[in-house]
Amino acid sequence: MKIDSHQHFWKYDPLKHSWITPEMNRIQRNFLPADLFPLLQEAQIDGCIAVQADESQRETDYLLDLADQHEWILGVVGWADLGRDDLEDVLDSFAEQSRLVGFREVLQSKDPQYMLREEFVRGVQKIGKRGYAYDILTFPQHLSAALQLVKKCPDQRFVIDHLSKPEIKSGEWKEWKKLISPLAERELVYCKISGMVTEADWKKWTTDDLLPYIEIALELFGPERLMFGSDWPVCLLAGEYEQIIQVVADFTEQLTESERDLILGETAADFYKV
């Protein structure tokens, strides 16, 4: 099974999606299942994981509703305020939602210490006890704090989104590798090969710009903890869907068939339990 482990849907709202700046005008519109499904079919991808793009309960409900309507939306990574006192009640309200596979927050926009607050750590532990995964969305400067979070939640499944957004445009990788390596040593920490083109030069990137980061990710995590994600439609700022997939497909050609199958779908299926 081939799975796109990371994509988004939204009905564009200039207030709710204020992070979409004027230079990102290509994605200042609606992106719905009818837009993605033909791309998945063309790429022979069986399904996807829809990930939150807005920090609201409404966003989680919206994605779950889409998943109910489309079987190929295999799972939803939603949002919840993990620090709230009544988190258990919120999680109870999702008990019948089998497509809800995990949670995420836009940690990259917050101080690294935010994720080490006692109430946040406790919240991550609570979702772990219920079998949910957690997507870590960070920049490299957050990785030291992320490691501390992981250590405080030893039984929790984590996945690092977008390789933690290394500075691909500048070609820097040594410091990023140094920061992400300790996380890769934790057996329940996975990584997504996603979001790379938007960290590169949007107009001039080449596959060679991305390969060092994919190679390091493979070296550190291995195919059993590495999964492909398109980050559609955000990826459209720098490349078409088929271009994004082709980069990973070409890279995995050097691997064994079983290793290739893991990165292109089986790792995501195992991690998100879909």
Domains defined along the chain, listed by start: 3-272 (3.20.20.140)
Do residues 57 and 34 make contact, with C-beta atoms less than 8 angstroms apart? Answer: no
Element (H, E) at 58: helix 57-69
In angstroms, the CA 193 to CA 214 distance is 7
Per-residue pLDDT, 75? 98
Q: Starting at the earlier edge strand, list the strands of the sheet with 226-228.
A: 3-7, 47-51, 73-78, 100-105, 133-136, 158-160, 189-193, 226-228
Residue with tokens 């990371």: 6
Amino acid at position 136, single letter? I
Closest by CA to 158, choosing from 186, 181, 120, is 186
Please state the separation of Cα 20 from the chain's center in Å: 18
Closest by CA to 133, choosing from 163, 160, 96, 109, is 160
State the CB neighbour count (10 A cutoff) for residue 109. Answer: 12
Cis check: omega of the bond before 223, within 30 degrees of 0: no
Strands 226-228 and 133-136: unpaired
State the CB neighbour count (10 A cutoff) for residue 97. Answer: 15
pTM above 0.85, yes or no: yes
In angstroms, the CA 152 to CA 14 distance is 37
In angstroms, the CA 229 to CA 7 distance is 7
pLDDT in tens, the chain (274 residues): 999 999 999 999 998 898 999 999 999 999 999 999 999 999 999 999 999 999 999 999 999 999 999 999 999 999 999 999 999 999 999 999 999 999 999 999 999 999 999 999 999 999 999 999 999 999 999 999 999 999 999 999 999 999 999 999 999 999 999 999 999 999 999 999 999 999 999 999 999 999 999 999 999 999 999 999 999 999 999 999 999 999 999 999 999 999 999 999 999 999 999 9
Q: Is 72 helix (H, G, I), strand (E, B) or coil?
A: coil
Do residues 76 and 60 make contact, with C-beta atoms less than 8 angstroms apart? Answer: yes
| Residues in CB range of 71: below 8 A, 6 or more apart | 47
In angstroms, the CA 160 to CA 167 distance is 15
- Enter the tokens of residue 178: 């140094």
Per-residue pLDDT, 15? 87
Strands 73-78 and 100-105: parallel
